[in-house]
Structure 1
Amino acid sequence: MNQPLAYIHPEAKIAQNVVVEPFSTIHKNVEIGEGTWIGPNVTINEGARIGKNCKIFPGAVIASVPQDLKFAGEVTTAIIGDNTVIREYVTVSRGTIDKMKTVVGGNCLIMAYAHIAHDCMVGNNCIIGNAVQMAGHVEVGDYAIVSAMSAIHQFVKIGSHAFISGGCLVLKDVPPYVKAAREPLSYAGINSVGLRRRGFVSEQINEIQQIYRFLFMSGLNNSQALDKIELDLMPSTERDEITNFIRNSGRGIIKGYFSKDAN
């Protein structure tokens, strides 16, 4: 690897077959895995841990100092999983003392101008759309899709396989397997198209649909709906994931379109 027009700190740990294009800067305490491509004008700051076969496009900034006034210079990281694509001008902050790391999983696509703030945890196989703005401490489950121009409040949790429509303001937790849209953000059905693409069979999809009928279309409050779900439906991976997510929600979940109050 010979890039005379890029700055690579001598203490950076970079695999032999990594490509670093001109005018990029890679600081110390950085690790980059095999097969990764670093485009031109990329900045990789201290604390970056970038996996194998990633692609990082021009203007991206990885492991920037957190935009958190409580940050006191603690040694933290920003972790990017294998096979993830980071498009133009994406910014990923490193963690703070809360989690000590920010994580973007493997096989993700982070589209141009998105921001992933300190202590966020983004799962595997996620798509984060153009200009999505993700505040600190957000958690995003595997296979979730957040469409362009959405803004996500700090500490919000987005469940696995969820789909959030473009331009949404996400102030509450979004449970697994659902579509969320409208203003204020509300339940808009289950993500049946995405589930079928990922191999869910009709029985699983029908069960998920029934669970959310209890939660959002029955007139029951969340506690009553959870009791009804656990009484009427046999235990399953999907049932238990949904009920555990709702019971452990810190900010409360989004409202149902047909319900007056989701709480």
Structure 2
Amino acid sequence: MIQPLAYIHPQAKIAGNVVIEPFVTIHKDVVIEEGTWIGSNVTIMDGARIGKNCRIFPGAVISAIPQDLKFDGEETTAEIGDNTTIRECVTVNRATKDKWKTVIGKNCLIQAYSHIAHDCIVGDNCIFSNSTTLAGHIIVGDYVVLAGLVAVHQFCHIGSHAFIAGGSLVRKDVPPFVKAAREPLSYVGINSVGLRRRGFSSNQINEIQDIYRVLFVKNNNLTKALDIIEAEYKPTEIRDEILDFVRSSNRGVMKGFGQSKGML
């Protein structure tokens, strides 16, 4: 159902059962798949690729050009996965030639007034609360929860199943499975509630907790902590995911609360 007060470029590719409310503007190079609902006063610009059964609420702007002075008009995309909800006045910018696409995964909820900048890659099943802001080139794993007013510095990496408390400023990488809060952002425990909800066993949760005690609580420096974890904990997917994340960090990982800045 397409309301007559909407403007849709004749070359946009819109599935037959997409609902488009009044005063929507859809540009030429746009693809919208089956079952999606586009609320009134939404603007969908060139490069948008919107999946099945999405809901985009009034005032959102999808696939505007990057807020990056290096952008030179290259043909890039902003991609939104199936069953994702974009609430009021969210802005999602398309990419630069760094990654060529900005991506929000499947089954995500991006709440009102949030901003996802160019070249961000967001995993599946994420929840971003109101006014969350991602700068450019950020990678967010699956099942990440960002509470309201979280601001993430460009090029940061947030691991899967992490929870970041409201009002946090994220300047360093946040490893998987943890809770992060305080200023400067610090480790405050593991995301045990979220892990239980997603079917992690007690043994797995205990393993995660033990590894992060070595990394963040026992005042080891980073190199020593990684050596201890590798030597004393048998290889598992969880252990290896944590080790790989920390070792591959470009910006450095956040510190443990109470650790000196030099420790990490």
Give the TM-score normalised by the residue count of structure 2. 0.99
Deviation at 1:120, TM superposition (A): 0.3
Deviation at 1:258, TM superposition (A): 3.3
Deviations 1:15-57 (A, max 9, x none): 0000000000000110001000000000000000000000000
Q: Classify the secondary structure of the residue corresponding to 1:242.
A: helix
Q: Classify the secondary structure of the residue corresponding to 1:103.
A: strand
Partners of 1:63 and 1:113 lie apart in 2 by 15
Runs of 4+ with deviation above 4 angstroms = none
Partners of 2:155 and 2:82 lie apart in 1 by 25
Q: Classify the secondary structure of the residue corresponding to 1:28.
A: coil
Query: In the alignment, what sits opposite 2:38?
Result: 38
Residue correspondence of structure 1 range 92-107 to structure 2 within 5 A: 92-107=92-107
Query: In the alignment, what sits opposite 1:161?
Result: 161
Partners of 1:260 and 1:91 lie apart in 2 by 37
Query: In the alignment, what sits opposite 1:250?
Result: 250
Instruction: Give the letter aligned to residue 115 of structure 1.
Output: H
> Given that residues 28 and 45 in structure 2 are in contact (C-alpha distance below 8 angstroms), is that contact kept between their aligned partners in structure 1?
yes
1:123 aligns with 2:128: no
Instruction: Give the letter aligned to residue 84 of structure 2.
Output: T
CA RMSD of aligned residues (A): 0.7
> Given that residues 95 and 101 in structure 1 are in contact (C-alpha distance below 8 angstroms), is that contact kept between their aligned partners in structure 2?
yes
- Structure 1: segments with no counterpart, 5+ residues: none
Partners of 2:28 and 2:223 lie apart in 1 by 50
- Identity among equivalent positions (%) equals 67
Instruction: Give the letter aligned to residue 187 of structure 1.
Output: Y
Q: Classify the secondary structure of the residue corresponding to 1:250.
A: coil
Deviations 1:160-183 (A, max 9, x none): 000000001100000000000001
Instruction: Give the letter aligned to residue 224 of structure 2.
Output: Q
Instruction: Give the letter aligned to residue 95 of structure 2.
Output: G
1:195 aligns with 2:190: no
> Given that residues 80 and 103 in structure 1 are in contact (C-alpha distance below 8 angstroms), is that contact kept between their aligned partners in structure 2?
yes
> Given that residues 216 and 258 in structure 1 are in contact (C-alpha distance below 8 angstroms), is that contact kept between their aligned partners in structure 2?
no
Partners of 1:126 and 1:2 lie apart in 2 by 30
Deviation at 1:158, TM superposition (A): 0.4
> Given that residues 2 and 21 in structure 2 are in contact (C-alpha distance below 8 angstroms), is that contact kept between their aligned partners in structure 1?
no
Query: In the alignment, what sits opposite 2:28?
Result: 28
Q: Classify the secondary structure of the residue corresponding to 2:137.
A: coil
Instruction: Give the letter aligned to residue 157 of structure 1.
Output: H
Deviation at 1:223, TM superposition (A): 1.1
- Structure 2: segments with no counterpart, 5+ residues: none
Aligned length: 263
Instruction: Give the letter aligned to residue 98 of structure 2.
Output: D
Deviation at 1:2, TM superposition (A): 3.7
Partners of 1:109 and 1:157 lie apart in 2 by 19
Residue correspondence of structure 1 range 4-83 to structure 2 within 5 A: 4-83=4-83
Instruction: Give the letter aligned to residue 222 of structure 1.
Output: L
Residue correspondence of structure 1 range 138-177 to structure 2 within 5 A: 138-177=138-177
